[in-house]
Structure 1
Amino acid sequence: MRMTVADVMTSKVVSVTAATSFKDIAEALIAGGVSAVPVLDDDDHVIGMVSEADLLCKEEFYREGYRPPLRARLRHPKGRRKAEGDTAAELMTSPAITVFPDASAVWAARLMDAHDVKRLAVVDYNGRLQGIVSRRDLVKLFVRSDEEIAADIRDDILDRALWVDADGVRVDVSQGIVTLSGWMDRRTEAAITARMTARVNGVVDVISKITWKIDDSKREAR
């Protein structure tokens, strides 16, 4: 039920070293069909990331010999510095934002959002490259059939994870939206079921219509 970064990441990664030239980086991006490459040291540790945007700084700041006004150069010092770069060490964003293979896919998505990046280098606990996970990889989590989602909810949550009677719960899934109906003994059990269902990979939303015999929510709040 819990999808990890290792489940969705790309393991075969195009990479460069700190000394890789601007032109060779551009060729690596095009040949690999990727928008960024990790920069590695001699021991495969990730020391940075170079993206298409980093390379385009040169076009933006020095197109055909044009230099933007001093005010613009001062306002975007990082862009100006990268525009003057000729190697990965001078072009890369460092340190790279990384994640471990056993981290949850949800955590990877939160990291991307927090740092406003489109991809993360996946490293082992020694900082060595294991793969790359991108926004596109994470979107794949939602491309699951309704039947697969419903089966996960029934097998992993209702039958295994919950330590209560869930025989009265019905699961219906349409376009990733889960509707839970039926009954359970307690109101808190219904709430827990809905929360756990929302964590299943591929679930877009949860609509809970579960009724209960005992309203124990006030008692639990004390």
Structure 2
Amino acid sequence: MKHLRTVDDVMTHAVISVDRQAPFRDIVEIMRQRHISALPVLSEDGRVAGVVSEADLLLKAQGADESRAVTAGRLMTAPAVTVPRDATIASAARLMARGHLKRLPVVDDGRLVGVVSRGDLLKIYLRPDEDIAAELRELIMAYLIPAGSSLVHVYVSKGTVYLDGSIPDPTLQAMLVRVARTVPGVVDVTARLDAEVPA
């Protein structure tokens, strides 16, 4: 069972990129053929120098002298906003939301290793319910065994977690709900946990 935690778990590894010398028309053709709206621009050593997007191309097409050679190096937005491959899915989502970005180049030591899109980040919500439940059971066992005996049933349906049973301490319910919400793919949590009454 794969626990989806980092950008590396969901990113697209086969990346289409261009170098600084790529001409305007070639960039447009690549975007059209591959159905993508932006391309990382790489320097000679494979590092991400910038990103050229459809918006960059449209701005150039609207007002510039097209008789001059226009290249990716002149069109790109730089420096590029990138994310390391070991970044959490949540941190990548925040970065995209903050910058109003549709995708981010993924780097390892500055070199391009993938691209993560909004759609890639949403993949976690397609995890099988069984995978979510199994991961959550592991986490619950880790939290509850030190706290004493308990009997917690975990059921997941369409990403919604249902926790039923008994726990040794009523204050654990809020903690278990918080733990459940950290599991990638969880949409909501409903807990009906009774505190055990000492004999």
1:14 to 2:32 alignment: no
Out of 110, 131, 142, the position equivalent to 2:114 is 131
Instruction: Kindly provide the CA deviation profile for residues 52-77 of structure 1, in whole angstroms up to 9, marking residues without a partner as x.
Output: 22222245x34xxxxxxxxxxxxxxx
Distance 1:141 1:135 in 2: 11
Alignment match, 2:181: 198
TM-superposed CA distance for 1:179, in Å, is 1.5
TM-superposed CA distance for 1:98, in Å, is 0.8
- Please, which moves more after superposition, 1-10 or 116-125? 1-10
Partner SS state of residue 50, structure 2: strand
How many residues are aligned here? 192
TM-score where L is the length of structure 1: 0.78
Out of 75, 80, 84, the position equivalent to 1:96 is 80
> For residues 85 and 171 of structure 1, do their structure 2 counterparts lie closer, same or farther at Cα, with a shift above 3 Å needed?
farther
Out of 136, 152, 165, the position equivalent to 1:182 is 165
Q: Map 1:1-222 to 2 at 5 A.
A: 1=3, 3-59=5-61, 61-62=62-63, 86-125=70-109, 127-154=110-137, 156-160=138-142, 162=144, 163-165=146-148, 167-213=150-196
Distance 1:201 1:161 in 2: 18
- Contact 1:178/1:203, CA 8 A, preserved across alignment: yes
| RMSD after superposition | 2.3
TM-superposed CA distance for 1:32, in Å, is 2.9
Distance 1:185 1:146 in 2: 27
Instruction: Kindly provide the CA deviation profile for residues 87-141 of structure 1, in whole angstroms up to 9, marking residues without a partner as x.
Output: 112211111111111111111111101111011111113x111110010101111
- Contact 2:4/2:124, CA 8 A, preserved across alignment: no
TM-score where L is the length of structure 2: 0.87
TM-superposed CA distance for 1:145, in Å, is 2.1
Gaps of 5+ in 2: none
TM-superposed CA distance for 1:189, in Å, is 2.1
Distance 2:94 2:114 in 1: 18
Distance 2:171 2:4 in 1: 23
Higher share of residues assigned helix? 1
- Contact 2:4/2:10, CA 8 A, preserved across alignment: no
Distance 2:193 2:15 in 1: 46
Partner SS state of residue 166, structure 2: strand
Gaps of 5+ in 1: 63-79, 215-222
